[in-house]
Each structure stands twice: as C-alpha cells, then as structure tokens.
C-alpha cells in the first residue's frame, strides 16, 4: 500500500494518469459497453492500461471503476455485482502498482451516480452515501489506497461520496468538472470548492478540477482555487485538448507538446498533482511527466499567458453582475 499523504508531503509535484475510456476504446471497447465490465471479461487489457501509465511516469493510477456504482451499473443489469466489480478494478491496479519498483498510489475512481439529487431528482443524499459505500467497500477490499472522487458537479454528491469514504475508512480526494462558464453544471465555483473542503472532517487529502472543456479552462479553474492560500494540495487533470468528431469517433485536439505546456502552467498555478483526463494517451502522459519533473516553478500565470500557450477558453465565464469578468480578478 502507498500513502498519497506521504508522497504529497515530499513537496514534489506528482503525476496522475491519463484517460481510461479513450485508451480502452483503442484496445477494442465498443461504444455502449460499460468499461467496468472489462474488469471481469478483459483483466489483462485493464492491467495493460495501468502498466502503460506507470511506464509513462504516473505516480497515481486510477482504477477502472468510474461508473462502478450500482446506479450506473443498473443500465447494464449489473447493479448486484457492483462490489465485486470494484474489488476486481482495484486488484488489477494493485497488481501493477506492486511490481512497479517505486511507490505507486492506487486511486479508487468514483464517478457520479448519474442521478440528480432531490428535490430535482430521485436520489436523496442519504441514499447516495449507501451507493458510494457499496462501491468503496469493493475498492478497499481490492487494495485501493485512496478514494478518488471525480468529475463531480454538485456539493450534495461530493459530500455524499466524502461521507462514504469516511464511513469505510478510506482517505479521499475529490475533483469537480468546471465546464459551464467557469462553474460546474450545478453552480460550484473553484473558490467554493475550496471553501466546502474546509467544512469536512476529516478533510480530503487533495481537491481540484478534472475533465471540463479544455486545458485552458482547467488551468483557469486551478488559478481560482489557488487565488488565496488553499491550505490543501490541488489536483489538475485536464482533457487533452478539445473533443471533435471524425465520423462517429471522438478525437481530441491536444498534442503531447500542448499537454507539456499545460503541465508547466498547472505547476506554476499551484497544482500539486498533474495528470490528464479524456483523450490523454500514454504518449501525452509521458510528455506531462517529463514536463512536471523538469520544470522549475515559475511566475503564476494570468489569463492572457494561459491563452497564449494553450489556446482560447472554450467556456469563459459571463460578465458578472458588477460588470467585471469573474476570472482572474473578482473570481466567480
């Protein structure tokens, strides 16, 4: 077992892995098929995914369990096997980590339930806690070092997942997807995420941003979290550029060189953990890893320098009620 807290205490930036779905599609996953079922049917390919990221320089590998809660697995009539699937997901990653020859954190990926919370939807916060407990028990049994709660959009769902991690005795992190004019779909701001983290006990080991709409926007979200002393390590896990369809296949515009620039800007912005999300291949991650380990933290960037390096914002914040931009100065 590897302690994420211990690695973070070294003060050196850590590298998280890249895309799960994108790379599994390259390995033969079919659209509409649940990636989590490959933990049962294709264990060697899942281990190859993790090994590819370890070879590319990852210090943290995420289990193939993003949609492994019983609410999501219900779509494939696999809800009764949620705990088993998560245990397998963690054990596959654990087997790769244990033979790596260096400390590798196995992060149990926990994504959203896919349901809106009451009163907007059918799921109560208490029910969500139990859904996440079921998933996290499997991850813990399989050897996960930490619950990695990701791509969240509402405070209620983050809180439910955090309480589940606390309940099963796993340290935890969480990230949100700031994909709607600088906020999450349910209105969380980067600053608000930091403020919310301070209310939890025990606190998360790290918080941050993942996925979203592009590397530029994600770096701006990181700048929002670190505008004041956050008092907690920050995670940056951006998509490899912007998605676009070629026929019926999604491709991402980001090159390894762009992801290298993104990694340097993420470090300069105050991120302690840097990785990639959708579209991030082994080659992209190797470029991120090289940048993280060779870059010396430089001046904190502003919006203009982020855009110059990474391209325009894809979902810039609207002007706030006072007439100024939310980003950078007044910050949403």
Q: What is the pLDDT of residue 320?
A: 56
Q: What is the pLDDT of residue 249?
A: 78
10 Å Cβ neighbour count for 245?
Answer: 8
Q: What is the pLDDT of residue 251?
A: 86
Cβ–Cβ under 8 Å, residues 49 and 96: no
Instruction: Give every CB contact of residue 90 below 8 A, 6+ residues apart in sequence.
Output: 63, 65, 106, 108, 138, 139, 140, 141, 142, 143, 144
Tell me the β-bridge partners of 325.
319
H helix or E strand, kind and range, residue 14: strand 14-15
Domain definitions of the chain by residue range: 4-330
Per the structure block, which two tokens stand in for 27?
Answer: 């390995």
pTM beyond 0.85? yes
- Which long-range contacts link 49-52 to residues 24+ away (Cβ below 8 Å)? 49/20, 49/23, 49/24, 50/17, 50/92, 50/93, 50/96, 50/97, 51/96, 52/23, 52/282
| Residue 327's pLDDT band (cuts 50, 70, 90) | very low
Taking only the tens place, the pLDDT of each residue in 33-92 is: 999 999 999 999 999 999 999 999 999 999 999 999 999 999 999 999 999 999 999 999
Taking only the tens place, the pLDDT of each residue in 234-270 is: 999 999 999 888 887 788 999 999 999 999 999 999 9
Q: Does 31 score more than 80 pLDDT? A: yes
Q: What is the pLDDT of residue 74?
A: 97
Q: Does 322 score more than 60 pLDDT? A: no
Just give the CATH number of 4-330. 3.20.20.330
Q: Does 331 score more than 80 pLDDT? A: no
Provide the mean pLDDT of the chain: 94
Q: What is the pLDDT of residue 243?
A: 85
Q: Which of 153, 63, 77 is nearest to 115 (CA)?
A: 153
pLDDT, mean of residues 159-169: 98
d(CA 154, CA 38) in angstroms, rounded, equals 29
| Residue 116's pLDDT band (cuts 50, 70, 90) | very high
Backbone angles phi, psi at 281, to 5 degrees: -85, 180
- What percent of the chain has a predicted confidence (pLDDT) above 70? 96
Place of tokens 């990181």: 222
Position with higher pLDDT, 177 vs 250: 177
Q: What is the DSSP string of 183-220?
A: B-TT---HHHHHHHHTT-SSPPSEEEEEETT-HHHHHH
d(CA 181, CA 327) in angstroms, rounded, equals 10
Pairing of strands 234-238, 243-246: unpaired
| Residue 332's pLDDT band (cuts 50, 70, 90) | very low
Taking only the tens place, the pLDDT of each residue in 301-313 is: 999 999 999 999 9
Instruction: Give every CB contact of residue 7 below 8 A, 6+ residues apart in sequence.
Output: 14, 59, 103, 105
Q: What is the pLDDT of residue 319?
A: 66
Instruction: Please report which residue ranges of the chain form alpha helices under DSSP H.
Output: 4-9, 21-26, 38-41, 43-56, 70-73, 82-98, 125-142, 155-168, 190-197, 215-225, 256-268, 282-294, 303-310
Give the least confident one: 99-103, 105-109, 325-329: 325-329
Query: Residue 260: helix, strand or coil by DSSP?
Result: helix
């Amino acid at each position: 077992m590897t302690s994420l807290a211990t690695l973070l205490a070294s003060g050196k930036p850590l590298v998280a892995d890249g895309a799960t779905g994108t790379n599994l599609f390259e390995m033969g996953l079919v659209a509409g098929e649940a990636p989590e079922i490959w933990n049962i049917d294709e264990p060697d390919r899942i281990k190859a995914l993790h090994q590819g990221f370890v070879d590319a320089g990852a210090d943290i590998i995420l289990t193939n369990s993003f949609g492994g809660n019983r609410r999501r697995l219900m779509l494939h009539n696999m809800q009764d096997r949620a705990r088993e699937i998560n245990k397998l997901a963690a054990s596959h990653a654990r087997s790769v980590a244990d033979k790596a020859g260096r400390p590798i954190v196995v992060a149990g990926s926990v994504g959203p339930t896919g349901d809106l919370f009451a009163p907007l939807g059918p799921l109560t916060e208490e029910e969500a806690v139990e859904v996440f407990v079921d998933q996290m028990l499997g991850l813990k049994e399989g050897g996960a070092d930490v619950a990695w709660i990701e791509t969240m959009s509402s405070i209620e769902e983050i809180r439910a997942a955090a309480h589940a991690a606390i309940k099963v005795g796993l340290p935890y992190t969480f990230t949100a997807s700031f994909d709607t004019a600088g906020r999450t779909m349910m209105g969380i701001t980067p600053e608000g995420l930091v403020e919310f983290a301070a209310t939890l006990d025990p606190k998360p080991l790290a918080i941050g941003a993942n996925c979203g709409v592009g590397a530029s926007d994600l770096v701006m979200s990181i700048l929002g979290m670190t505008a004041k002393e956050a008092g907690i390590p920050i995670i940056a896990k951006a998509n490899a550029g912007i998605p676009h369809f070629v026929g019926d296949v999604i491709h991402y515009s980001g090159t390894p060189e762009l992801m290298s620039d993104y990694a340097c800007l993420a470090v300069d912005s105050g991120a302690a953990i840097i990785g990639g999300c959708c579209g991030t291949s082994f080659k992209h991650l190797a470029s991120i890893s090289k940048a993280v380990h060779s870059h010396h933290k430089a001046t904190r960037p502003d919006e203009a320098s982020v855009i110059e390096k990474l391209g325009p914002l894809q979902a810039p914040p609207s002007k706030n009620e006072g007439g100024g931009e939310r980003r950078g100065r007044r910050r949403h």
